[in-house]
Amino acid sequence: MIPQNQWYVAAYGREITTGELFGRTVCGESILFWRTGAGEVTAMSDRCVHRRFPLSQAPTRLEGDRVICGYHGFTYGPDGVCVAVPGQTRVPRTARLRPYPVVEQDSFVWVFIGDPGLADPTRIPRAPWLASPDYTTVSGMEPLAARFELLVDNLLDLSHETYLHGGYIGTPEVAGTPITTQVDDEAGVVHVSRRMADAECPPFYSRSTGLTGRISRWQDIEYTPPCLYLLHSRIAPVGSEPRPDGTDPDAFHVEVVYAITPETEHSTHDFWAVARDFAPGDEEVSAFLAEQNRTVVLQDVAALDVLERVIAAEPEGYQELSINIDTGGLAARRMLARLGAATPSTAAV
């Protein structure tokens, strides 16, 4: 079940440009975006009020800050209010596209799904590295033909790196090292931590950092259901620790960010970003990390697409078996279930 009354990442800011219509389905709702002449991102229902033509689709077009439906010419302003209809001068008062609260932050365009009166922009979780001058970031989005819960499971249990991503980011120590899990119900965050004191350095990190020997590798996950997943990754020579003053000059820090946005009940927008505090502006390192991370994401996509089909074909009441590595994923599921239960059954759609 997709939690309502939540903020979700709909797009990167760069995907929405002035003068172009952009449609994306978020949580089963078809939303039209465009960037006004003033640079603001708008979000409104992507269905003309007249005969439901998708406004993101040609021959619908923008004229300045007005969108003109390609079927019969109904015309809307950036607030979704209809300002012209064909064949008559009077515009019906109810002719208005549903507007969505929208916030552009940390390179993402966030949209609020649910009752707009409950939209509090201060509750949007942050990923400040993605727009910080101190970090160099590569990012992308892959479509996933699987329910978002499968991606949450996947990301909360990184022991799969050893098997599914061997040769890229997985080494034997990931699956072999126990985790610690902390659930902060007040903040609505699940923390999962795995500290490998003496581990092989996988190609993802050795080629980007230049470290050739064994490493200390920390994976600190911070998941704010439903949408934002952060992996604070610290890579350093074995034995190196952060200093008492908080600085950490011998380590390499990578902030891996995922935004997990349901497209429908059974498909997901898998946004991924890799921000690093080293080799700033080094194009070769950027290209390498982008290609590697995309490959890793596509390995996940292939596996999760299979699992979605497996679930669709299996009998009701199939039982999974969980072990210690699943503590974080199970905590995330419980938190998602609570968010889902809080969803009114008569959710506006």
The binding site for a second copy (CB under 8 A) comprises 28, 30, 47, 49-54, 57, 59, 68-73, 85-88, 92, 94-95, 153, 157, 159-160, 162-164, 166, 175-179, 303, 306-307, 310-311, 313-315, 318, 320-325, 349
Torsion, Cα 109 193 155 231, to 10 degrees, reads 30
Q: Between 78 and 329, name the residue whose CB sits nearer to a second copy.
A: 329
Distance CA 200, CA 113 (A): 43
Tell me how far, at minimum, the Cβ of 307 lies from a second copy, in Å. 6
Here the tokens at position 166 are 């061997």
Q: Between 73 and 237, name the residue whose CB sits nearer to a second copy.
A: 73
Q: Between 212 and 324, name the residue whose CB sits nearer to a second copy.
A: 324
- 295 forms beta bridges with none
- Could you count the other beta carbons within 10 Å of the beta carbon of residue 298? 13
Here the tokens at position 197 are 């004191």
- Closest-CA residue to 204 (of 130, 322, 142, 296): 296
Q: Between 165 and 276, name the residue whose CB sits nearer to a second copy.
A: 165
* Alpha-carbon torsion (120, 101, 131, 291), positive or negative: positive
Q: Between 96 and 207, name the residue whose CB sits nearer to a second copy.
A: 96
Tell me how far, at minimum, the Cβ of 98 lies from a second copy, in Å. 12
Tell me how far, at minimum, the Cβ of 56 lies from a second copy, in Å. 11
Q: Between 41 and 155, name the residue whose CB sits nearer to a second copy.
A: 155
**Cα 84 from chain centroid (whole Å):** 37
Determine phi and psi for 8, rounding to 5 degrees: -130, 150
Here the tokens at position 48 are 């003309």
Q: Between 14 and 93, name the residue whose CB sits nearer to a second copy.
A: 93
Tell me how far, at minimum, the Cβ of 180 lies from a second copy, in Å. 12
Tell me how far, at minimum, the Cβ of 38 lies from a second copy, in Å. 27
Three-state DSSP class for 83? strand
Tell me how far, at minimum, the Cβ of 261 lies from a second copy, in Å. 17
In the numeric block, the tokens 């727009």 are attached to 131
Residue 137 contacts residue 82 (beta carbons within 8 Å): no
Tell me how far, at minimum, the Cβ of 149 lies from a second copy, in Å. 11
